[in-house]
Amino acid sequence: MNTATEVLHRVFGYDTFRPGQQEIIEHVAAGGDALVLMPTGGGKSLCYQIPALVRPGTGVVISPLIALMQDQVDALTALGVRAGFLNSTQDFDERQLVEAEFLAGELDLLYLAPERLRLESTVRLLKKGAISLFAIDEAHCVSQWGHDFRPDYLALSELHAQWPEVPRIALTATATPATHAEIAERLGLREGEARHFVAGFDRPNIHYRITAKSEPKRQLLDFLRAEHPGDSGIVYCLSRSSAEKIAAFLVENGIPALPYHAGLDARTRAHHQARFLREEGLVVVATIAFGMGIDKPDVRFVAHLDLPKSVEGYYQETGRAGRDGLPATAWMAYGLQDVVQHRRMALEGDEQHRRRQALHLDAMLALCETVTCRRVMLLDYFGQPGGSPCGNCDTCQTPPESWDGTVPAQKVLSTVLRLARERGQKFGVGQIVDILLGKTTAKVLQHGHDSLTVFGIGTELGNAEWHGVARQLLAQGLLAVEPNYGALVLTDASAAVLRGQHEVRLRRDPRRPAKAASAPKS
Ligand code: ADP
Ligand code: ZN
């Protein structure tokens, strides 16, 4: 007997299915098409692996994660599953061997990089063998509006035309309702053509927290010492050099850490990844290149020191924490410079790219600045509206005050306006705040900014608070930055604020608690 449940026990050694798995597996095993939306760690792999084992022929898995194919195949082989892969990292002989196995009907699963399907030779090869199903992993890569578009994925719409009788299952952990619809459209898996399985996206064991950035390295260290001493985790940052620096900083402070980014050679990267999977209590400081498809169940925290580009990316990265279902933390420090930098990056590229970037960024900033439950907002974003406050995020646990920031907003905007109108000048946030605070710095004196009527009109707030005001004005689109130097400029929406026609609601950044008592080094 070769039923799904029997394969689950015998091959994979698991007692029961995870929620959703059985239905999906039985549908695909019976030859149906499926579109599966399931959060990271939900157990998507089994949804195509078991049908591939139950059905005659080879299951062909399209995956963009070339770097992981070897690991995936090794893991399957260890379970006695006959698996192979074809991608650009292999030499001719290695490919020949896999192709021969496929043609001889000796493979249960064949992993393929999407670009291989564009090759005439690959299509010819597949035509000659017996295929049990096509699994399209990371299916959101077909969405042009998504955050991870890959042109090679567009060609996957051809699969159905070429192999009309072979079932297809597309899977993703990251899809807003719009992306979901686009995947179905582009892959020919619309409702009616295929069954859609949408699992709950909530990860209730993950505690979400987004804090104002002041001294990022120190804040990270305090967070790790206070809440995750000795735990495994991932720290994300944007640049290679900061990944190196932060890793070195953690090591100096007694926390075992390794960098991981595209600037390291493949062997070092593979070595660091292997150590992360194997060792306990290791922290990897990575650029976004790390973690896709990595299955380490006991990642206890994911920390972001820079703002991710999109909520999809953020949720996917934070989803790598707590796959074992035990408590885990998604922690982020975010500040004014993040907004400035991302607003500037969102000004690059062609019109469509800019619009896409701006939409992604606005959603990300709204999540950062919200005064309501972060989880409710995240789930709403992924198409599960109407949740109640979760009690396991920072805004639930210490509700931030919101306040009427109209007057401070007007002070910032009119300073920007005066510099432009009266002096024909543009400056960055630092100078604007110095003017508001009435500081006679060298730069203020040099430009004669102490004679502006707005000089010193903002002593009711401190330096950090003014930065918070400017950050939120940028986040809300009431202020903009110029691409080149990051100077502040007004937007169309600024005028209504200056005229008093638009109330500006701001979030009061919770004061940082007095430095957490450092845990003793172990
Ligand atoms: P995803 O691709 O959705 O992120 P995976 O397929 O990598 O998730 O599965 C996540 C983890 O859960 C893996 O360690 C996998 O072995 C495990 N897993 C999947 N299904 C089951 C199950 N039915 N019972 C126990 N563990 C499971
Ligand atoms: Zn909450």
72-83 pLDDT, tens per residue?
999 999 999 999
Tell me what pLDDT residue 522 has: 36
**Are the beta carbons of 281 and 232 closer than 8 angstroms?**
yes
Atom 20 of ligand 1, nearest CA residue: 43
Residue 468 in this model has a pLDDT that exceeds 50: yes
**pLDDT averaged over every residue in the chain:** 91
d(CA 239, CA 407): 37
**Phi and psi based region of residue 62 (left: phi greater than 0; alpha: psi -120 to 50; beta: remaining):** beta
Strand pairing class (479-481; 488-490)? antiparallel
Atom of ligand 1 nearest to the CA of 14: 24
What is the average pLDDT across 50-58? 97
How many whole angstroms from 231 Cα to the centroid of ligand 2?
24
Over 70: is that where the pLDDT of 329 sits? yes
**What is the model's pLDDT at position 2?**
67
Single-letter amino acid code for the residue at 136: I
Ligand 1 atom at minimal distance to the Cα of residue 173: 3
pLDDT of residue 349 exceeding 90, the answer is: no
Closest by CA position to 102, among listed 73, 65, 127: 127
**How far is the centre of ligand 2, averaged over its atoms, from the C-alpha of 198 (Å)?**
22
Euclidean distance between CA atoms 398 and 414, whole angstroms: 33
What pLDDT score does 356 carry?
82
Q: At what angle do helices 463-475 and 336-345 cross, to 10 degrees?
A: 30
* pLDDT tens-place string over residues 282-310: 999 999 778 766 778 899 999 999 999 89
Q: Which ligand is nearest to the CA of 393?
A: 2
Percent helix / strand / coil, the chain, rounded to 5:
45, 15, 40
Q: What pLDDT score was predicted for residue 290?
A: 80
H or E stretch including 481?
Answer: strand 479-481
Probe target for ligand 1 pocket from 10, 17, 18, with the most ligand atoms within 8 Å of CB: 18
The token pair at 236 is: 């994300």
Instruction: Take atom 23 of ligand 1 and give the residue whose Cα is closest.
Output: 17
Closest-approaching ligand to the CA atom of 206: 2
Which helix or strand (DSSP H or E) is residue 234 part of? strand 233-236
Which 3-state string (H, E, C) describes 89-130? Answer: CCCHHHHHHHHHHHHCCCCCEEEECHHHHHCHHHHHHHHHCC
Residues near 451 by beta carbon (within 8 Å), at least 6 away in sequence: none
Ligand 2: distance of its center to the CA of 394 in Å?
7
Q: What percent of the chain has pLDDT over 90?
A: 70
pLDDT at 473 over 50: yes
Residue 268 has pLDDT above 50, yes or no: yes
Ligand nearest to the CA of 39: 1
CA torsion angle 119 121 122 126 (round to 10): 140
Nearest CA to ligand 1 atom 9: 43
Q: What is the pLDDT of residues 157-202, one digit of tens each?
A: 889 999 999 999 999 988 788 899 999 999 999 998 899 999 888 8
Could you tell me which residues come within 8 angstroms of residue 295 by beta carbon, excluding any fewer than 6 positions away? Answer: 323
In 3-state terms, what secondary structure has residue 132?
strand
User: For residue 315, which phi and psi values (nearest 5 degrees)?
Assistant: -70, -35
Name the strand (E) or helix (H) holding 171. Answer: strand 168-172
More confident residue, 32 or 40: 32
Q: Whose CA is nearest to atom 26 of ligand 1?
A: 14
- Determine the length of the chain: 522
Q: What is the pLDDT of residue 424?
A: 94
Which-ligand-closest: CA of 377? 2
pLDDT in tens, 135-148: 999 999 999 877 78
Quick one: which atom of ligand 1 is closest to the CA of 44? 3
User: Backbone phi, then psi, for 317, in 5-degree steps?
Assistant: -70, -45
Of the listed ranges 136-150, 381-395, 451-465, 502-516, the one predicted with least confidence: 502-516
What distance in angstroms lies between residue 205's CA and the mean position of ligand 2's atoms? 12
Q: How far is the CA of 43 from the centre of ligand 1 (A)?
A: 4
Give the ligand with the smallest distance to the CA of 394.
2
pLDDT at site 521: 37
Mutate to test the pocket of ligand 1, among 7, 14, 68, 171 (most ligand atoms within 8 A of CB): 14
Ligand 1, atom 2: nearest CA belongs to which residue?
44
Question: Over 70: is that where the pLDDT of 511 sits?
Answer: no
Q: How far apart are CA 313 and CA 403, in angstroms?
A: 30
Note the pLDDT of residue 359.
84
Q: Say how many Å lie between the CA of residue 47 and the centre of ligand 1.
A: 10
Residue whose CA lies nearest to ligand 1 atom number 27: 43
pLDDT (tens digit per residue) in 225-257 = 999 999 999 999 989 999 999 999 999 999 999
Q: Which one of the ligands is nearest to 292 CA?
A: 1
Write out pLDDT tens, residues 364-379: 999 999 989 999 999 9
Question: pLDDT at residue 260 above 50?
Answer: yes
108 half-sphere exposure, CB direction, 13 A CA radius: 18
What is the number of other CB atoms lying within 10 angstroms of the CB of residue 389? 15
The residue assigned the tokens 């949408």 is: 198
Backbone φ and ψ of 20, nearest 5° = 95, -30
Helix (H) or strand (E) holding 195: strand 195-198
**Res. 355: pLDDT tops 50:** yes
pLDDT of residue 48: 98
Q: Give, in order, the Cα–Cα distances in Å from 290 to each of 37, 276, 282, 406.
A: 22, 11, 14, 42
Atom of ligand 1 minimally distant from the CA of 137 = 2
List, chain by chain if needed, residues with CB within 6 Å of any ligand 1 atom.
14, 17-18, 21, 38, 40-46, 173, 295, 297, 323
Please tell me the predicted confidence (pLDDT) of residue 144: 83
Q: How far apart are CA 36 and CA 195, in angstroms?
A: 8
pLDDT confidence of residue 65? 85
Q: Ligand 2: distance of its center to the CA of 6 in Å?
A: 40
Residues 363 and 381: beta-carbon distance below 8 Å: yes
Residue 443 corresponds to which amino acid? K
Ligand 1 pocket test, candidate residues 46, 111, 326, most atoms within 8 A of CB:
46
Cα Rg for the chain, rounded, in angstroms?
A: 26
Average pLDDT of 264-284? 93
Q: How far is the CA of 360 from the centre of ligand 2 (A)?
A: 22
Distance from the alpha carbon of residue 323 to the mean position of ligand 1, in angstroms = 9
Report how far ligand 2's centroid is from the alpha carbon of 451 (Å): 47
Report pLDDT digits (tens) over 83-138. 999 998 899 999 999 999 999 999 999 999 999 988 999 999 999 999 999 999 99
pLDDT at 350: 85
